[in-house]
Structure 1
Amino acid sequence: MTAMDRKVAVVTGASAGIGQATARRLHELGFIVYAVARRLDRMTSLAALGIHTAGVDLTDDAAVVELVDRVLAESGRIDVLVNNAGYGSFGAVEDVPMDEARRQFEVNVFAVARLCQLALPHLRARGSGRIINVSSVGAKMYQPLGGWYHSTKYALEGLSDCLRVELKPMGIDVILIQPGGIDTEFPQVASQRLLATSGSGAYSDYARRYALTLLAEPRYISSPSVVAKAIAHAATAKRPRTRYAVGRGARAAIVARWLLPDRLFDRAVVALFSALAR
């Protein structure tokens, strides 16, 4: 495959976990990969493989515009955009400052939308391409003290569904990835934010117990490579599915939410919460 024939993929949140595993997987499949993250120093292993790396704060519009301009100047095309960057800001809705709630939406939703806006003229011009948005099983269910995080994932799925029907006539696929529990930095970061936000005060007991569920035993989580494999399939399949639920517990949680009425699902969430916190 010549350089002109190789497809180009942009992967955000590539400094660790799912993003880094995805960048490696797509590189192995012959893609020209641009790995994007705030922490450029965390991507030296990717650069050593020949993967292009870019240190970008996705909430900085000028930096995002510069990123897309760079990809097009160097490679002349964008074929696959993997919007993986995101984080979890946990805490009681009452406790989380509104500035932090807004930042959660800026990173998890608006940054995705802005990258899509910038990439779409080039995808439309080619009449093909894939936008792969990494959501969560948390977009189909909910859990205590995760109101703002879950809200962003619900919003991301709504945005993606609308994009899918908008762009299908133009030859562009929009695919959602819905991971369950994955072995990344997410649980540690989320539990730290939870305790910092609601570890004292009216929700303190609840917060301390729930922080333990975020750090559940390894048997409840899967490797980031499982998600990377699904993303790679979505990027290369002739007819990709609209959604891929991956990782332990993902499909079961989605089916349970579909089958159970709200009150019964509430009880199931509380029961699981109590079991994991022991």
Structure 2
Amino acid sequence: MKKVILITGASAGMGKDFARELLKDGHTVYGAARRLDKMDDIKALGVKIISMDVTDETSMVNGVDAIIKLEGRLDVLINNAGFGSYGAIEDVPIEDAKYQLDVNVFGAARLSQLVIPQMRKQHFGRIINISSIGGKLAMPLGGWYHASKFALEGLSDALRNEVKPFGIDVVVIEPGGVKSEWADIAMDNLVKISGNGEYEKMAKKFAAMSKERGHSVAEPDVITKLVKKAIESQNPKTRYSGGFMAGPLLFLRKILSDRMMDKLFMSQLK
């Protein structure tokens, strides 16, 4: 069955790839983002473009209402909008930390609230939350980003059980390293925030390591395939993971103690 799908953060990276590939499968795809000019390419393919800021209540309400009014249904929400506010926890202004959680957690939560009534009415829906392996393990200098993804994981677990009786599934996708503008923005922010103080050595080493490994990260289609599984499966898994180092790191998190994980991470930053 072809579905009506809303994807946030569709102006770049994984979100844009989701939109392009799900459209090929015959679904009705709405791509939402603030930067409408960045979506001209997928608009030309047939993706329906919506202006949406996941920190703005009015734009979220209007976007969801418009889709339901036009299509009569909304089957899949992909909460993909997000970014990484990197820097030592001590250094990151608390206003920036709040904005990190506002985008990565509260935006996803509010959109979920807005689509659930329609999905319950249909007795069918899929809410797919794009988390990260950083929602299961935390490296230094990414504390606020990890806090947002840990929160999204817990929120998803609670929501999954609340809405299951109404025919709604909640699925978490946990990407590892994936090619996008995300890393460059996060590392630029890291150096800006913590590159000239007490954490300078660690910050510059972390940024250099990220840049060095940039050529090894996976293409977005690796995650797009997982999203397709989450949409197409009659009984989707609660979690899917993929991308650069996702499998090994999640395995190590399961078998190693906190102290051993600390040593592993810090050994990379000496």
TM-score of the alignment, normalized to the shorter chain, above 0.5: yes
Return the letter of the residue paired with 2:168.
I
Which of the residues 100, 106, 110 maps onto 2:106? 110
1:162 equivalent in alignment to 2:151: no
Q: Which residue of 1 aligns with 2:206?
A: 210
Q: For 1:172-251, what aligned pairs fall within 5 Å after superposition?
A: 172-251=168-247
Q: Which residue of 1 aligns with 2:94?
A: 98
Counterparts of 1:1-278 in structure 2, within 5 Å, are: 6-274=2-270
User: Does the 8 Å contact 1:15/1:37 carry over to 2?
Assistant: yes
- How much has 1:206 moved relative to structure 2? 1.1
Q: Could you tell me how far apart the structure 2 residues matched to 1:6 and 1:243 are? A: 23
| Kept after mapping to 2: 8 A contact 1:163/1:174 | yes
Per the alignment, in what secondary structure is the counterpart of residue 202 of structure 1? coil
Shift of 1:27: 0.6
Q: Tell me the TM-score normalized by structure 2.
A: 0.98
Partners of 1:77 and 1:214 in 2: CA distance: 42
Letter in 2 for 1:61: E
Q: Are the aligned partners of 1:12 and 1:83 in contact in 2 as well (CA < 8 Å)?
A: yes
TM-score, scaled to structure 1:
0.95
| Matched residue SS, 2:128 | strand
Q: CA RMSD in A?
A: 1.1
Equivalent position SS for 1:217: helix
Shift of 1:248: 2.1
Name the CA distance, whole Å, in 1 between partners of 2:80 and 2:257.
31
Q: 1:218 to 1:211 in 2, by over 3 A?
A: closer
- C-alpha deviation, 1:219, in angstroms: 4.9
Distance (whole Å) between structure 1 residues aligned to residue 215 and residue 11 of structure 2: 24
Identity %: 45
How far apart are 1:234 and its partner, in Å?
0.5
What amino acid maps onto 2:265 in structure 1? V
Q: Deviations over 1:245-275 (max 9, x none)?
A: 111210111110010011111111122345x
Contact conserved, 1:78 with 1:119, CA < 8 A, in 2? yes
Deviation track 1:92-144 (CA, whole Å, cap 9, x = no partner) reads 11110010000000000000000000000000001111000000000111111
> Contact conserved, 1:220 with 1:249, CA < 8 A, in 2?
no
